[in-house]
Amino acid sequence: MRAPFRAPMEGLPARVTIYEVGPRDGLQNEKTVLPATVKAEFVARLARAGLTTIEATSFVHPKWVPQLADAEELLGRMERVPGVRYPVLVPNERGLDRALGLGVTDIAIFGSATETFAQRNLNRSVDGSLAMFAPVVERACAAGLAVRAYLSMCFGDPWEGPVPIAQVVRTGKRLLDLGCDQLSLGDTIGVGTPGHVTALLRAFGEAGVGTERLAVHFHDTYGQALANTLAALRAGVSVVDASAGGIGGCPYAKSATGNLATEDLVWMLSGLGVRTGVDLAALVETSVWLAAELGRPSPSRVVQALAAELATTRAAAGQEAAGPAAERASEAAPGRSSGPPAAEQE
């Protein structure tokens, strides 16, 4: 399969941990609600493709996010690969009660840098949501769970406009001070640009929060997610959130589209010589398969470019075409069966 020419840049981490959010952030905003069996297969395929952190689902109110209402059933069906972490979103103690006892070892709480989104997403003010999270983090830590915190609307908010950096840093620190291990900075509506990312990370550093405690979470609404990721890597971040095939968005944020596609990220990192441990071909096959399940092509550029090539290679090798998946692949990328010679792949 085609691969990028490898040309490293100085000052980047040698390895990046991809925090895969497709089964949660991706599926929570798709129109098609997949059965738990298909979700379990999705998670299993992601693990087989080499992803080591796969956010599986959410224990939120089922009426708020019906797409993930089957969290208990999914956890019952999911095979766990040793060495792979399967975090779940938990907003409150009710969510924690549901998750405990199902083999969950990692949870994520999710706060907002703005009042409007806190109200719309959590039905509370920023202070009210921190009060809701405090006992969750305390009990989760006491039970030995790892706790991540998300902070949404770190760059702009559809109702409030640009979000001041000082406001983001203040709320981010409050989330970390609850006892969370990691803070993921969310560009929920994808309006950030690289200079803004650099300034935000610098401000966190000046406030005593180093990049080793930070992750980045970019939605790709304006096509800035990869550029923003590169800016974050240059500032020292080595945990990057991404969603296989670029699916998803946030149901409670107007204009939030899919996350940075994992395939696009892996392609760039592979070109930069940064290790991820992810098998790009296996991941593309997963996204092509998922696109058929969801009934819409993957928005990822790398999936579109490579899927048709994979299908053609298969057909040439006399293997059975992958049915709807292969059709979906050729619809997504007509005529893309040849290209420049493949560079060495990881």
- The pairing of beta strand 161-162 with beta strand 156-157: antiparallel
- Give the burial string for 251-284 (b: 16+ CB within 10 Å, else e): ebbeebbbbbbbbbbbbbbbbbebebebbbeebb
Q: Mask: binding to ligand HMG, 111-140, rule CB under 6 A, as x and -?
A: ----------xxx-----------------
Q: How far is the CB of 171 from ligand HMG (least distance, A)?
A: 12
The residue within the footprint of Mg ion, chosen from 25, 70, 157, 293 (CB under 5 A), is 25
Whole-angstrom Cα distance, residue 151 to residue 253?
Answer: 13
210: CB partners within 8 A, 6+ apart: 204, 236
- Measured from the CB atom, the residue of 62 and 339 that comes closer to ligand HMG is 62
Whole-angstrom Cα distance, residue 30 to residue 294?
Answer: 8
Residue 110 in contact with ligand HMG, rule: CB under 6 A? yes
Q: How far is the CB of 179 from ligand HMG (least distance, A)?
A: 18
Using CB under 6 A, which of the segments 46-54, 90-98, 161-169, 198-206 binds ligand HMG? 90-98
- Measured from the CB atom, the residue of 100 and 282 that comes closer to ligand HMG is 100
Q: How far is the CB of 91 from ligand HMG (least distance, A)?
A: 4
Tell me the one-letter amino acid at 306. Answer: L
* 141 in active site: no
H or E stretch covering 292: helix 280-294
- What residues numbered 146-175 form the site for ligand HMG, per CB under 6 A? 150, 152
Cβ of 13: how many Cβ atoms within 10 Å?
Answer: 18
Residue 186 in contact with ligand HMG, rule: CB under 6 A? yes
Computed from CA positions of residues 200, 202, 204, 207, in that sequence, does the dihedral angle turn out positive or negative?
negative
Q: Which residue, among 225, 285, 290, has the nearest Cα to 258 in the 3D structure? A: 225
Residue 87 in contact with ligand HMG, rule: CB under 6 A? no
- Measured from the CB atom, the residue of 8 and 66 that comes closer to Mg ion is 66
Q: Which residues are at the interface with ligand HMG (CB under 6 A)?
A: 25, 28, 58-61, 64-65, 91-92, 94-95, 98, 110, 121-123, 150, 152, 186, 188, 217, 219, 250, 252
Residues marked active site are found at 250
